[in-house]
Structure 1
Amino acid sequence: MQTALAAAQGCLGFAVRRSARAMAQYYDAALAPAGIKGTQFALLNAVFLLERPGMQSLAEALGMDRTTLTRNLRPLETQALLVLQAGADRRERHVVLTEAGLATLTAAQRLWEQAHGRLVHGLGADRSRRLLDDLRDLTALAKDV
């Protein structure tokens, strides 16, 4: 019974999942006026920053497997916010933002800045930086197991 209490009160996995759900809902609501969700914002932003990434490099950058990435790309393709283009190899595909995708990303960036700013203000800049560092470390530890 002691283990059950410890797991209920101090499980890092559960705490991170609960926080992730709350953050997803928070960013989804903040980005709704741009017509996208938080995960879609992260995807569009990564495509923009990586400049025509291949599927594998985009999946790695986002910490997703390719199947999950493909599933997350589909609605953005349907909305014509990005396209998949053939690469030099028949198996290779590159993800490219469309003009509509860039416009959506630009609108969403302003919304994200406001939402992110509220969180950083609430936690404080130093605490926010520490949280990001701690989450990176926790992710690395979980991958090493």
Structure 2
Amino acid sequence: MSPALHPEPGKTAIAARPQGCTNLKLRQLMRRVAQHYDAEVGQVGLKGTQYSLLSHVVKRGPIRPVDLAAGMNVDASTLSRNLKPLIAAGWLTLEAGADARSRLVHATDAGREKRAEAQRRWRVAQEGINATLGPQRVIALHALIDEAMQALDDAQA
């Protein structure tokens, strides 16, 4: 009998062939991880996606929306929709760029303060994931995700 199909007690069996829907499995994992981060970052009034957007602008801004969308791997309409509440809260601004047709997204002082506050909660969330899954599993997960992304990029090219 194959050790992969009949592992030692306490170890997970690996099927000879993939079973089930990879998309579903990844979405289930993503929802669980996002819930964990949202619960922490939500304590300062942000969703995980808003924290990510605010962080990108703080790190890379002022930045053109098209470059921000590309850097975050989202489409322009998703970015526009996600910018609105952050602009309304006064954490980001959309200002004139180098010419009459261009715009730049800026983080305000209040936005930088909100990002710093949220970053402390993000660290708590990250440490919680590391503790729950174990550092070695998190490292292996990151490596597997990076390898899968590269393989998908290579297949698309």
TM-score (norm 2): 0.80
Q: 1:113 aligns with which of 103, 123, 126?
A: 123
1:1-145 correspondence runs (5 A) = 9-143=19-153, 144-145=155-156
5+ residue gaps, structure 2, are: 1-16
Alignment check: 8 A CA contact 1:55 1:92 kept = no
* Paired positions, count: 139
Query: C-alpha deviations, 1:12-62, integer Å up to 9, x for none?
Result: 211111111222222111111211000000001111111311111111111
Alignment check: 8 A CA contact 1:51 1:96 kept = yes
| 1:10 CA drift (Å) | 2.7
Query: C-alpha deviations, 1:53-107, integer Å up to 9, x for none?
Result: 1111111111101111111001111111100111113332111111111111111
Inter-partner Cα distance in structure 2 for 1:90 and 1:12: 46
Q: Secondary structure at the match of 1:91?
A: coil
Higher normalized helix content (fraction of residues): 1
Equivalent AA in structure 1 for residue 130 of structure 2 = V
Inter-partner Cα distance in structure 2 for 1:11 and 1:96: 40
Bigger Rg over Cα: 2
Q: Secondary structure at the match of 2:106?
A: strand
5+ residue gaps, structure 1, are: 1-5
Q: Tell me whether 62-71 or 125-134 shows the greater mean CA deviation.
A: 125-134
Q: Tell me whether 131-140 or 79-88 shows the greater mean CA deviation.
A: 131-140
Equivalent AA in structure 1 for residue 35 of structure 2 = Q
Inter-partner Cα distance in structure 2 for 1:133 and 1:73: 31
Give the 4+ runs in structure 1 shifted more than 4 A.
none
Alignment check: 8 A CA contact 1:30 1:115 kept = yes
Inter-partner Cα distance in structure 2 for 1:86 and 1:140: 36
Q: Secondary structure at the match of 2:90?
A: coil
Q: What is the Cα-based RMSD across aligned positions, in Å?
A: 1.8
Inter-partner Cα distance in structure 2 for 1:111 and 1:29: 9
